[in-house]
Amino acid sequence: MSARSLLTALPEELIVTISACIYVGDLLNFALTCKTTHRCAKEHLAVNATYAREWIVRHDRLPLTAPDLLRLATKHVDQIWHLRSLDFWTARARWDDWKTDEYDDPSGQDDPDWPDPAQDCTDLDTSYFTEAEMNILKALLRDQLRLRDEEADLWTSRILDGNDEPLKCLLMANAPRLDRVNFIAIDMARSDDELAEHPLTVLTLACSRIKAAPHPAWPLGLQNLRQVSICTGSDLRHPHDAYYMQPRDVAPLFALPNIRVLNLQLLGYMDEEAFDLESCSSTVEDLAFTCCEISMQAFEKFVRAAKRLRRLGNDDLAYSAREVIDLVAESHAGSIEELVVRPRPTFHDFVRHQGKFTKLKLLDSLDISDSGPRQDTTSNIAGGPTKFATYLPRTLEKLQLYGNRVSGVMPSTLCADLLRAVAELAEDERFACLTKVCMYDTLPGPEGEHDLDLSDWDDAAYQRICKRRIDIHHVRGSGNFMTYEEHAQLHHDFSTGTLLPIESHPGPASS
């Protein structure tokens, strides 16, 4: 007799009881066994469908959220199985910090429940955790996160002092399907006690200890974690009133076994300490740097650490676009799909790498301000827009051109030539994947001007571009120039530099 027939031979009341005890990760398979098990598991499935909607994202703006979630996680309740995303808005170093934070945004100042109901738990003390709970937490720090005895003792004592950072790290480790963690920009200087330099101290320490173990055993939450954003900006606080991490502080995150996205902000701005990061050792595929000031050596280590880098974005780093392009061409030319480089590259930066970028789909932005003849170190190149098809990767789908039309860097006499060059590119069968060539920052028409200057406009070339259904992000359907706001709405991809938007952003209580 099969296991299915043995199961269906039981009274349905008993099957319902059994289904209620089944781990949520196995519930769907149980329900799909046969019609009887599906019927008996309906109530349990319905409850978990509600959990899936309500528990996918959690944040720590209320002081009791992190410890409450951790208690649920250590009991392996169904709700935690549905937790996919954590937004950390604050850091609490002592019991006096266990209250709802104040925010800079005044838009909800007349609403006492915005952005969150006020919660003051500053009367809590060491008795908040039972002795049994503290023993469990210490064991988890030592056994799950592999902290050394003295490190586990230190962070256990800090938990008793009201520091919630180790609680959040343990929550990450024990949320089995955790996919994303967002550390939002916070002011770490608001407390005068022994607050860590940044809110990732325990996490990065745990990553280092687990990786160094003879037989690394990653907790499920850290094993499944794929996306981490550090110092994400929010309009509730000024983004620069935050913590600044050194490159060596971030390096352990590359060891996470299934990490795919690292969004790094406010990195550097201090004397760097040496760190090791093995080349081709990390699963990270998407890497972004925003408002960072780090050495080229550190940047190179981060880029080379990836086995297969798919997207790279950097925001005004202190080295040239050519250095970045050369580095990517050497280490990831066969995998890179999207490049956002600041300072902006010119097509001269791609001269030495013809044919190398075999998968590049998005290039933002290509600076064509220097459009005159140029003597290159490797060959004599006649610069100008007509060289687009010669030097650009033929896999491009989206290309953004930059010429600074407002300041006049892009000579107006070249605008018609530029339209014709883009038309030639659009008609080139080798660029069949091309769908967008953003020309908003190159053609005439500063903000507020709504009439086309026909002396700078080649309508025949424009019609050739339209015939190929290439969007140039410049003219509305009515024939007038786009406004800045209209154009900004067209750039919600990787070119914005934001890999991980905040999912738990608060709004007025009525929303």
Helix (H) or strand (E) segment spanning residue 365: strand 362-367
Query: Could you tell me which residue, 38 or 361, shows the higher pLDDT?
Result: 361
pLDDT of residue 1: 44
pLDDT for 197 beyond 90: no
Instruction: Express the helix, strand and coil content of the chain in percent, nearest 5 each.
Output: 40, 15, 45
Count Cα neighbours of 226 within 13 Å in the Cβ-side half-sphere. 11
**302-336 burial: b if 16+ Cβ within 10 Å, else e:** bbbbbeebbbbbbeebeeebbebbebbbebbbebb
pLDDT band of residue 196 (cuts 50, 70, 90) is low
Cβ atoms of residues 443 and 405 within 8 Å: yes
pLDDT band of residue 157 (cuts 50, 70, 90) is very high
pLDDT of residue 118: 82
Q: What is the DSSP letter of 200?
A: T
Question: Which residues on adjacent β-strands are paired with residue 227?
Answer: 180, 261
Tell me the pairing of strands 380-381 and 374-375: antiparallel
Mean pLDDT of 325-352: 90
Q: Which CATH architecture has domain 60-100+124-496?
A: Alpha-Beta Horseshoe (3.80)
Mean pLDDT of 176-180: 95
| Cα separation, 19 vs 40, whole angstroms | 7
Count Cα neighbours of 224 within 13 Å in the Cβ-side half-sphere. 15
Query: Could you tell me which residue, 233 or 68, shows the higher pLDDT?
Result: 68
Count Cα neighbours of 158 within 13 Å in the Cβ-side half-sphere. 21
pLDDT for 115 beyond 80: no
Question: Which residues on adjacent β-strands are paired with residue 184?
Answer: 232
Q: Give residue-wise pLDDT tens across range 124-143.
A: 999 999 999 999 999 999 99
The region of weakest confidence among 52-56, 108-112, 247-251 is 108-112
Per mean pLDDT, which of 16-30, 34-48, 221-235 is the most reliable?
A: 221-235
Mean pLDDT of 167-184: 95
Tell me the pairing of strands 362-367 and 398-402: parallel
pLDDT of residue 39: 66
Q: What is the mean pLDDT of the chain?
A: 81
Mean pLDDT of 310-339: 91
pLDDT of residue 374: 38
pLDDT of residue 289: 92
Show the 3-state SS of 310-325: CEEEECCCCCCHHHHH
Peptide bond into 157 cis (omega under 30): no
Query: Could you tell me which residue, 502 or 340, shows the higher pLDDT?
Result: 340
Query: Could you tell me which residue, 255 or 474, shows the higher pLDDT?
Result: 255
What are phi and psi for residue 146, nearest 5 degrees? 60, 30
pLDDT of residue 488: 76
Q: What is the DSSP letter of 425?
A: H
Mean pLDDT of 297-325: 92
Instruction: Provide the angle, in degrees to the nearest 10, between the axes of the packed helices 321-332 and 296-305.
Output: 30
pLDDT band of residue 454 (cuts 50, 70, 90) is low
Comparing CA positions, the residue from 457, 458, 450, 459 lying closest to residue 478 is 450
Comparing CA positions, the residue from 240, 291, 286, 242 lying closest to residue 265 is 291
Tell me the pairing of strands 227-232 and 311-314: unpaired
pLDDT band of residue 472 (cuts 50, 70, 90) is confident
pLDDT of residue 272: 84
Radius of gyration of the chain, Cα coordinates, nearest whole angstrom:
27
pLDDT of residue 38: 65
pLDDT for 383 beyond 60: no
| Cα separation, 169 vs 24, whole angstroms | 23
pLDDT band of residue 421 (cuts 50, 70, 90) is confident
pLDDT of residue 343: 86
pTM (2 d.p.): 0.85
Instruction: Provide the angle, in degrees to the nearest 10, between the axes of the packed helices 149-160 and 201-212.
Output: 160
pLDDT band of residue 456 (cuts 50, 70, 90) is low
Q: Give residue-wise pLDDT tens across range 67-89.
A: 999 999 998 888 898 899 999 99
| Cα separation, 324 vs 326, whole angstroms | 5
CA distances from 405 to 62, 272, 367, 401, 444 (A): 47, 38, 12, 11, 6
pLDDT for 3 beyond 70: no
The domain limits of the chain are 3-54, 60-100+124-496
pLDDT band of residue 433 (cuts 50, 70, 90) is very high
| DSSP secondary structure string for all residues of 168-197 | HHHHHHH-TT--EEEEE---GGG--S---S
CA torsion angle for 409, 413, 416, 417 (degrees, to 10)? -80
| Cα separation, 101 vs 91, whole angstroms | 10
pLDDT band of residue 461 (cuts 50, 70, 90) is confident
Q: Vertex 93, ends 91 and 99: CA angle to 5°?
A: 65
Q: What is the DSSP letter of 328?
A: H
pLDDT band of residue 13 (cuts 50, 70, 90) is low
Comparing CA positions, the residue from 307, 305, 299, 306 lying closest to residue 325 is 299
Using a 10 angstrom Cβ sphere, with 0-12 exposed, 13-18 middle and 19 or more buried, the burial of residue 297 is exposed
Return the number of other C-beta atoms located less than 10 Å from residue 272's C-beta.
14
Structure tokens at 228: 């981490």
